[in-house]
């Protein structure tokens, strides 16, 4: 029996009874028991479907982040096996298509890229907490080129038009004020460099979009915003002392962060 | 004549200072000193590898490689890992063969670059004596009349075929790729970065 549209429980029972596939003399209590069993099974099936889809999404992302080292022949060198963004995209689209509806229309590519970037950024953020003595600060600067950098928009005939309030120097200044990091603000105004101690609240403020920016990702590490080409490099203790971010002999601290909120995208 | 000389140490500032310097030159600490600048150097080198030579829309391969860099420092040195599928192949080169499919699909159009064949609904395999391709009917045709005359005088009308189809992928059993060690920094470059970091650190330590 095939139903092309959802129908009520009562109609389904009636249809089955007409076909002789359900007894006609079921009591109300028995019908209720059948209904509860169907609902429980449907819920489990739905949950299973969603779980399978989510597991596929998770496995695909893991394959991009941590490709496996596989030895295809005994004694041979290992090869790296894993999904690339194109094959991850197709795998995730297939998994979501089984759920149907708008889930299949998601911008999977953008989601995969952002999730991977955030996970990798988070990993570097944690490992950078291990050398706070030697590199107590980070410097924010462009690492990856963009066709349309932040602070610009595409105008007539593809020309780039400046939108200064959107660029990273403006965001830095707003984040420094919001975080109360006067030292970072002083260094920025004196040198143009976006340098701050790892322990400064400026990093979380950048991720939170201090200054009213709504395209940020909420993390205290890069990428701070969607599709950002800016990243951080460690700044040595001697440079920090020269910039006046640390006094000689002053102990630097790690970044304070909430592990539960670390990976958000 | 004999002279007795007694030396008493009233304040030892030399040994603690030397001990501090020795501690700062411990292998684990020097590895920590080198790790961050080496990681930055490798990441920026990977990012600077640039876009594809054909000028097609970038898939961001080298940016992804740069973001995938992981590192650890220990008393044995610094380990830098580029955790991205394909980087080792580009560095060493070698033969790539299909593993889970019969053939490799090589993108031959900016439309298909960075995509899989499954992402082109309606695409199909076109076999010719010169090989096999995955093609899709073109939505815009310059030579509309040519569409109906793909065979002319017993020979394939290549112009018509080209106008009728978008050639997306070439199907091959394997490709041989030449290695390119320049995709990673050289050992000399890495050594120079590490040495600069160490001398800067030791110089600062000595001044204290």
pLDDT tens for A164-186 read 899 999 999 999 999 999 999 99
Q: Which residues of A177-204 are buried (b: 16+ CB within 10 A; e: fewer)?
A: bbbebebbbebbeeeebbbbbbbbbbbb
Length of chain B: 208
pLDDT of residue A265: 44
Q: What's the Cα-to-Cα distance from A219 to each of A29, A167, A168, A236, A265, rounded to whole Å?
A: 54, 18, 16, 23, 8
Cβ-nearest to A86 among B29, B33, B115: B115
Cβ–Cβ pairs < 8 A, chains A and B:
81
Cβ-nearest to A134 among B32, B86, B115: B32
| Burial class (CB within 10 angstroms; exposed 0-12, middle 13-18, buried 19+) of B66 | buried
Q: How many CB atoms lie within 10 A of CB B172?
A: 15
Quick: pLDDT tens for A103-149: 444 456 667 788 889 889 988 998 899 899 999 999 999 999 998 89
Stretch among A94-103, A237-246, B81-90 having the lowest mean pLDDT: A94-103
pLDDT of residue B143: 47
- Has residue B172 got a pLDDT over 50? yes
Per-residue confidence band for A101, with pLDDT thresholds at 50, 70 and 90: very low
Sign of torsion, CA A168 A169 A174 A180? positive
Cβ-nearest to A144 among B47, B71, B73: B47
Binary contact (A123, B33; C-beta < 8 A): no
- Long-range contacts made by residues A63-69, C-beta under 8 angstroms, separation at least 24? A63/A88, A64/A88, A64/A112, A64/A116, A64/B85, A65/A116, A65/A119, A65/A120, A65/B68, A65/B83, A66/B83, A67/B83, A67/B84, A67/B85
Q: Which tokens belong to B100?
A: 């889970």
Instruction: Annotate chain A with three-state secondary structure.
Output: CCCCCCCCHHHHHHHHHHCCCCCCCCCHHHHHHHHHHHHHHHHHHHHHHHHHHHHHHHHHHHHHHCCEEECCCCCCCCEEECCCHHHHHHHHHHHHHHHCHHHHHCCHHHHHHHHHHHHHHHHHHHHHHHHCCCCCEEEEEECCCCCCCCCEEECHHHCEEECHHHCHHHHHHHHHHHHCCHHHHHHHHHHCCEEEECCCCHHHHHHCCCCCCCCECCCCCCCCECCCCEEEEEECHHHHHHHCCCCCCCCCCCCCCCHHHCCCC
Cβ-nearest to B36 among A80, A117, A135: A135
Decide which of A90 and B134 is more confident: B134
- Has residue A218 got a pLDDT over 70? yes
CA pair distance A208, B36, nearest whole angstrom: 26
Contacts of B85 in chain A (CB under 8 A): 64, 67, 80-84
- Find the mean pLDDT for residues B9-21: 71
Q: Which tokens belong to A226?
A: 């969607």
pLDDT of residue A81: 82
Quick: pLDDT tens for A222-237: 999 988 999 999 999 9
pLDDT of residue A132: 93
Contacts of B116 in chain A (CB under 8 A): 86-87, 89-90
C-alpha of B54 from chain center: 17
Decide which of A232 and A43 is more confident: A232
ipTM greater than cut 0.90: no
Q: How many CB atoms lie within 10 A of CB A140?
A: 24
Beta-ladder partners of A153: A161
Contacts of B37 in chain A (CB under 8 A): 234
pLDDT of residue A39: 56
Beta-ladder partners of B4: none
Decide which of A264 and B162 is more confident: B162
pLDDT of residue B191: 95
Binary contact (B60, A113; C-beta < 8 A): yes
Distance from CA of A119 to the nearest CA of B (A): 10
pLDDT of residue B146: 47
Per-residue confidence band for A94, with pLDDT thresholds at 50, 70 and 90: confident
Greatest mean pLDDT among A8-12, A252-256, B36-40, B54-58: B36-40
Task: Specify whether the CB–CB gap between A60 and A83 falls below 8 A.
Answer: yes
Task: Specify whether the CB–CB gap between A113 and A105 falls below 8 A.
Answer: no
Residues of chain A with a CB closer than 8 angstroms to some CB in chain B: 64-67, 79-87, 89-90, 113, 116-117, 120-121, 123-124, 127-128, 130-131, 133-135, 143-144, 231, 233-234, 236-238, 248
Stretch among A9-23, A199-213, B83-97, B103-117 having the lowest mean pLDDT: A9-23
Distance from CA of B165 to the nearest CA of A (A): 23
Decide which of B96 and B23 is more confident: B96
Mutate to test the interface with A, among B83, B92, B111 (most CBs of A within 10 A): B83
**Among the listed residues A5, A260, A222, A96, the one whose alpha carbon sits nearest the alpha carbon of residue B47:** A222
pLDDT of residue A106: 47
Stretch among A9-18, A50-59, A78-87, B122-131 having the lowest mean pLDDT: A9-18
pLDDT of residue A92: 77
Contacts of B98 in chain A (CB under 8 A): none
Per-residue confidence band for A7, with pLDDT thresholds at 50, 70 and 90: low
Quick: pLDDT tens for B55-75: 888 888 999 999 999 999 998
Phi, psi of B201 (to 5 degrees): -70, -45
Task: Specify whether the CB–CB gap between A212 and A180 falls below 8 A.
Answer: no
pLDDT of residue A254: 86
pLDDT of residue A46: 53
Q: Mean pLDDT score of chain A, rounded to an integer?
A: 81
Quick: pLDDT tens for B109-161: 988 998 888 888 889 999 999 999 999 888 654 444 544 555 556 666 666 55
Beta-ladder partners of B177: B94
């Amino acid at each position: 029996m095939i139903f092309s549209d959802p129908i009520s429980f009562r109609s389904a029972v009636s249809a089955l009874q007409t076909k002789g596939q359900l007894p006609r003399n079921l009591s109300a209590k028995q019908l209720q028991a059948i209904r509860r069993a169907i609902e429980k099974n449907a819920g489990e099936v739905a949950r299973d479907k969603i779980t399978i889809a989510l597991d596929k999404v998770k496995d695909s992302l893991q394959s991009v982040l941590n490709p496996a080292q596989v030895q295809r022949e005994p004694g041979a060198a290992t090869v790296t096996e894993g999904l690339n963004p194109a094959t991850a995209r197709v795998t995730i689209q297939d998994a979501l298509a089984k759920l149907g509806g708008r889930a299949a229309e998601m911008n999977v590519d953008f989601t995969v890229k952002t999730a991977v970037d955030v996970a990798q950024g988070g990993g570097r953020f944690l490992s950078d907490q291990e050398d706070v003595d030697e590199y107590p600060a980070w410097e924010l600067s462009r690492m990856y080129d963009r066709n349309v950098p932040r602070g610009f928009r595409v105008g007539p005939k593809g020309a780039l038009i400046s939108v200064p309030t959107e660029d990273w120097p403006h965001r830095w200044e707003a984040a420094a004020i919001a975080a109360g990091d006067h030292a970072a603000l002083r260094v920025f105004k004196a040198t143009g460099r976006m340098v701050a101690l790892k322990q400064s609240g400026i990093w979380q403020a950048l991720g939170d979009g201090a200054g009213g920016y709504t395209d940020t990702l909420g993390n205290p590490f890069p990428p701070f915003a969607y599709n950002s080409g800016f990243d951080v490099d460690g700044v040595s203790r001697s440079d920090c002392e020269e910039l006046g971010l640390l006094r000689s002999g002053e102990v630097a601290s790690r970044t304070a962060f909430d592990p539960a909120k670390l990976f958000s995208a | 004549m004999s002279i007795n000389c007694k030396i008493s140490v009233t304040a030892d500032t030399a040994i603690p200072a030397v001990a501090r310097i020795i501690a700062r030159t411990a292998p684990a600490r020097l590895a920590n000193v080198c790790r961050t600048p080496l990681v930055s150097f490798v990441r920026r080198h990977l990012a600077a590898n640039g876009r594809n030579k054909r000028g097609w829309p970038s898939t961001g391969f080298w940016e992804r490689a740069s973001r995938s860099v992981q590192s650890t420092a220990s008393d044995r040195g610094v380990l830098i890992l580029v955790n991205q599928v394909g980087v080792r192949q580009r560095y060493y080169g070698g033969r790539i063969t299909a593993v889970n499919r019969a053939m490799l699909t090589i993108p031959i159009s900016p439309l298909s670059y960075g995509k899989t064949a499954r992402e082109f609904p309606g695409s199909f395999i076109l076999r010719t004596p010169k090989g096999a391709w995955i093609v899709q009917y073109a939505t815009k045709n310059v030579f509309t009349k040519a569409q109906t005359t793909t065979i002319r005088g017993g020979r394939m009308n290549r112009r018509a075929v080209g106008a009728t189809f978008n050639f997306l992928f070439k199907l091959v059993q394997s490709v041989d790729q030449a290695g390119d060690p320049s995709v990673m920094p050289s050992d000399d470059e890495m050594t120079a970065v590490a040495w600069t970091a160490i001398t800067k650190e030791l110089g600062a330590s000595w001044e204290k």
